[in-house]
Amino acid sequence: MSKLGKWSRRGFIAGGVVVGGGLVIGVALRQGDRRGDVISSVTTDGDELLNIWVKINEAGEITAIVPHSEMGQGAQTALAQMLADEMDAKWSDVGFEEAPATDDYANWALGKGFILGDAAVPEVLVPTVDGAFYQVAKAMRLQITGGSASVRTTGVHGMRVAGAAAREMLIKAAAGKWQVAESELTASESVISHTASGRTATYAELASAAALFTPSPTPKLKDVADFKIMGKYVQRHDIPSKVDGSAQFGIDAQVPGMQYAAIKAAPVFGSAVASVDSSKAEQRAGVTQVVNLGNAVAVVASGYWLAEQALKDVDVKWTATSNDRVNTESLREQFRKDITDAATNGTSESDVELGNYAEAFAAAERVLEATYEVPFLAHACMEPMNATASVNGDMCEVWVGAQNPMGFRYEVAAALELDPENVTVHQHFMGGGFGRRSIADSAIQAAMIAREVGTPVKLIWSRAEDMQHDIYRPGVASKFRAAVAADGQVLAWDNVYHEKHEPAEAPVIPYAIAAQHIHYTDSPTHLPFGPWRSVDHSQHGFFTEAFFDEVAEAAGEDPYQLRRKLLADKPRHLKVLDLAAEKAGWGEPVAQGKGRGISLQESFGSLVAQVVDVTLTDGKIGVDRVVCAVDAGFAVSPDGFVAQMESGISYGLSAALYGEISVENGAVQQTAFHDYPVVRMQDSPVIETHILNSGETIGGAGEPGTPGIAPALANAIYQATGTRVRKLPVSQYDFNYRVEEQEELI
Amino acid sequence: MITFTVNGSQQSLDIDPSTPLLWAIRENLQLTGTKFGCGVAQCGACTVHLNGQPVRSCVTPIAAAQGALVTTIEGLESAEGDLHPVQDAWIAEQVPQCGYCQSGQIMSAVALLEQNANPDDAAINSAMSGNICRCGMYGRIRKAIKRAAGESVVGVFDPKANNPQEASNV
In whole angstroms, what is the distance from residue A493 CA to residue A344 CA? 16
CATH code: domain of residue B102: 1.10.150.120
Q: What is the pLDDT of residue A676?
A: 98
Please identify, among B74, B108, B137, the residue that sits at the C-terminal boundary of a domain. B74
User: Is there a single domain that holds both residue A237 and residue A256?
Assistant: no
Instruction: Tell whether B51 is covered by a domain.
Output: yes
Residue B120 contacts A where some CB pair is shorter than 8 Å:
no
Instruction: Tell whether B169 is covered by a domain.
Output: no
Angle subtended at Cα A378 by Cα A374 and Cα A379, rounded to the nearest 5 degrees: 120
pLDDT surpasses 70 at B128: yes
Pick from B31, B102, B157: which is nearest to A689 by CB? B157
User: Is there a single domain that holds both residue A144 and residue A275?
Assistant: no
User: Is there a single domain that holds both residue B8 and residue B70?
Assistant: yes
In whole angstroms, what is the distance from residue A620 CA to residue A622 CA? 7
User: Is there a single domain that holds both residue B92 and residue B47?
Assistant: no
Query: What are the two backbone dihedrals, phi and then psi, of residue A454, each rounded to the nearest 5 degrees?
Result: 80, 10
A209 falls in which pLDDT band (50, 70, 90)? confident
User: Is there a single domain that holds both residue B65 and residue B89?
Assistant: no
Please identify, among A217, A243, A269, the residue that sits at the C-terminal boundary of a domain. A243
Chain B residues whose beta carbon lies within 8 Å of the beta carbon of residue A285: 16
CB A706 within 8 A of CB A537: yes
User: Is there a single domain that holds both residue A119 and residue A170?
Assistant: yes
Instruction: Tell whether A91 is covered by a domain.
Output: yes
User: Is there a single domain that holds both residue A10 and residue A55?
Assistant: yes
Task: Give the number of A-B residue pairs with CB atoms closer than 8 Å.
Answer: 213
User: Is there a single domain that holds both residue B53 and residue B90?
Assistant: no
User: Is there a single domain that holds both residue A615 and residue A517?
Assistant: yes
CA atoms within 13 A on the CB side of A576: 27
When divided into structural domains, chain A yields a total of: 3
CB A564 within 8 A of CB A531: no
Instruction: Tell whether A357 is covered by a domain.
Output: yes
**What count of residues does chain B have?**
170
User: Is there a single domain that holds both residue B17 and residue B70?
Assistant: yes
User: Is there a single domain that holds both residue B58 and residue B121?
Assistant: no
Instruction: Tell whether A465 is covered by a domain.
Output: no
ipTM tops 0.95: no
Instruction: Tell whether B168 is covered by a domain.
Output: no
User: Is there a single domain that holds both residue A481 and residue A499?
Assistant: yes
Pick from A432, A460, A689: which is nearest to B98 by CB? A432
Q: Domain range spanning residue A443?
A: 250-321+385-460
Please identify, among A223, A243, A263, the residue that sits at the C-terminal boundary of a domain. A243
User: Is there a single domain that holds both residue A255 and residue A357?
Assistant: no
A9 falls in which pLDDT band (50, 70, 90)? very low
User: Is there a single domain that holds both residue A294 and residue A362?
Assistant: no
Distance from CA of A316 to the nearest CA of B (A): 23
Chain B residues whose beta carbon lies within 8 Å of the beta carbon of residue A649: 136
CB B109 within 8 A of CB B47: no
Q: In this predicted model, what pLDDT tens digit does every residue of A430-461 receive, in sequence order?
A: 999 999 998 999 999 999 999 999 999 999 99
Q: What is the pLDDT of residue A150?
A: 61
Instruction: Tell whether A284 is covered by a domain.
Output: yes
User: Is there a single domain that holds both residue B63 and residue B6?
Assistant: yes
Q: Do A682 and B30 touch (CB under 8 A)?
A: no
When divided into structural domains, chain B yields a total of: 2
Instruction: Tell whether B134 is covered by a domain.
Output: yes
Whether omega for the bond prior to residue A729 falls within 30 degrees of 0, making it cis, is yes
> Poorest-confidence range of A220-224, A281-285, A688-692, B118-122?
A220-224
Chain B residues whose beta carbon lies within 8 Å of the beta carbon of residue A689: 157
The DSSP secondary structure of B79-111, one letter per residue, reads TTSPPPHHHHHHHHTT--SS-TTHHHHHHHHHH
Q: Do A681 and B129 touch (CB under 8 A)?
A: yes
Instruction: Tell whether B27 is covered by a domain.
Output: yes
Higher model confidence: residue A740 or residue A727? A727
User: Is there a single domain that holds both residue A451 and residue A478?
Assistant: no
Q: Could you tell me how far CA A54 lies from the centroid of its own chain?
A: 25
Please provide the average confidence, as pLDDT, over all residues in chain A. 86
User: Is there a single domain that holds both residue B64 and residue B120?
Assistant: no
Q: What is the pLDDT of residue A276?
A: 98
Residue B35 contacts A where some CB pair is shorter than 8 Å:
yes
Pick from B74, B156, B167: which is nearest to A686 by CB? B156
Residue A38 contacts B where some CB pair is shorter than 8 Å:
no
Q: Which residues are CB-contacts of A668 (< 8 A; sequence separation ≥ 6)?
A: A267, A376, A378, A467, A468, A469, A470, A527, A661, A662
Average pLDDT of span B118-144: 97
User: Is there a single domain that holds both residue B99 and residue B69?
Assistant: no
Instruction: Tell whether B67 is covered by a domain.
Output: yes
Residue A738 contacts B where some CB pair is shorter than 8 Å:
no
Instruction: Tell whether A197 is covered by a domain.
Output: yes
Q: What is the pLDDT of residue A698?
A: 85
Please identify, among B74, B105, B135, the residue that sits at the C-terminal boundary of a domain. B74
pLDDT surpasses 80 at A543: yes
The side-by-side arrangement of strands in the sheet containing A515-521 is: A349-354, A515-521, A490-498, A476-484, A366-374, A744-745
CATH code: domain of residue A267: 3.30.365.10
Q: In this predicted model, what pLDDT tens digit does every residue of A390-440 receive, in sequence order?
A: 999 999 999 999 888 878 888 999 999 999 889 998 889 999 999 999 899
Residue of B nearest to A649 (CA): B136
Q: What is the pLDDT of residue A229?
A: 96
CATH code: domain of residue B9: 3.10.20.30
Q: Domain range spanning residue B28?
A: 2-74
Q: What is the pLDDT of residue A161?
A: 80
User: Is there a single domain that holds both residue B15 and residue B54?
Assistant: yes
Please provide the average confidence, as pLDDT, over all residues in chain B. 89
First to last CA, chain A: 71
User: Is there a single domain that holds both residue A497 and residue A552?
Assistant: yes
A149 falls in which pLDDT band (50, 70, 90)? low
Average pLDDT of span B32-43: 98
Task: Give B53: exposed, middle or buried? Use CB within 10 Å, 0-12, 13-18, 19+.
Answer: exposed
Residue of B nearest to A303 (CA): B27
Phi-psi region of A375 (alpha: psi -120 to 50; beta: other; left: phi over 0): beta
Chain B residues whose beta carbon lies within 8 Å of the beta carbon of residue A583: none
Higher model confidence: residue A107 or residue A332? A332
A226 falls in which pLDDT band (50, 70, 90)? very high
Residue of B nearest to A434 (CA): B135
Interface test with A, best of B40, B97, B107 (most A CBs within 10 A): B97
* Residue A10, helix vs strand vs coil: helix
Instruction: Tell whether B156 is covered by a domain.
Output: no
User: Is there a single domain that holds both residue B48 and residue B8?
Assistant: yes
Task: Give B27: exposed, middle or buried? Use CB within 10 Å, 0-12, 13-18, 19+.
Answer: buried
Higher model confidence: residue A217 or residue A702? A702
Residue B129 contacts A where some CB pair is shorter than 8 Å:
yes
Strands A395-400 and A423-427: parallel
User: Is there a single domain that holds both residue B53 and residue B93?
Assistant: no
Residue B116 contacts A where some CB pair is shorter than 8 Å:
no
Q: In this predicted model, what pLDDT tens digit does every residue of A65-111 receive, in sequence order?
A: 776 666 666 778 888 898 899 999 999 999 877 766 555 554 444 43
Residue B76 contacts A where some CB pair is shorter than 8 Å:
yes
Q: What is the 3-state secondary structure (H, E, C) of A578-631?
A: HHHHHHHCCCCCCCCCEEEEEEEEEECCEEEEEEEEEEEECCEEEEEEEEEEEE
Interface test with B, best of A85, A224, A305, A388 (most B CBs within 10 A): A305
The DSSP secondary structure of A198-242, one letter per residue, reads TEEEEHHHHHHHHTTSPPPSSPPPPPGGG-SSTTS----TTSHHH
Please identify, among B53, B74, B95, the residue that sits at the C-terminal boundary of a domain. B74
Identify the bridge partners of residue A473 per DSSP, sorted by sequence position: A377
User: Is there a single domain that holds both residue A111 and residue A11?
Assistant: yes
A46 falls in which pLDDT band (50, 70, 90)? low
A211 falls in which pLDDT band (50, 70, 90)? confident
Widest CA span in chain B: 67
Please identify, among A460, A484, A515, the residue that sits at the C-terminal boundary of a domain. A460
Residue A571 contacts B where some CB pair is shorter than 8 Å:
no
Instruction: Tell whether B161 is covered by a domain.
Output: no
User: Is there a single domain that holds both residue A239 and residue A284?
Assistant: no
> Poorest-confidence range of A75-89, A166-180, A324-338, A514-528?
A75-89
First to last CA, chain B: 66
